[in-house]
């Protein structure tokens, strides 16, 4: 297991990554107002500081050997 840290300069910048996830089509289908509300709520949960926003993720890394 590998711990990964993703960092963005602001919470607003972090919310723009939604479109690059499997949720992107769902977010794009929302009205502009609903998209704004969703991003504002997510940004609020992520918090914001002078150091930006850092989110810890986990990835399973495996390597096959013969």
Given a cut of 80, whether residue 62 has pLDDT beyond it is no
User: In this structure, what are the phi and psi dihedrals at residue 6, rounded to the nearest 5 degrees?
Assistant: -105, 130
The helix or strand, by DSSP H or E, that contains position 15, with its residue range, turns out to be helix 11-15
Q: What is the pLDDT of residue 1?
A: 67
Non-local CB neighbours of 46 within 8 Å, separated by 6+ positions: 11, 14, 15, 53, 55
Band of pLDDT at residue 31, cut at 50, 70 and 90: very high
Least confident of 28-32, 35-39, 56-60: 56-60
Task: Report residue 34's pLDDT band, with 50, 70 and 90 as the boundaries.
Answer: very high
């Amino acid at each position: 297991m590998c711990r990964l840290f993703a960092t963005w300069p602001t919470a607003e910048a972090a919310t723009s990554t939604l479109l690059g996830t499997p949720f992107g089509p769902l977010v794009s289908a929302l009205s502009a107002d609903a998209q704004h509300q969703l991003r504002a709520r997510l940004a609020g949960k992520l918090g914001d500081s002078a150091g930006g926003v850092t989110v810890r993720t986990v990835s399973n890394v495996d390597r096959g050997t013969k």
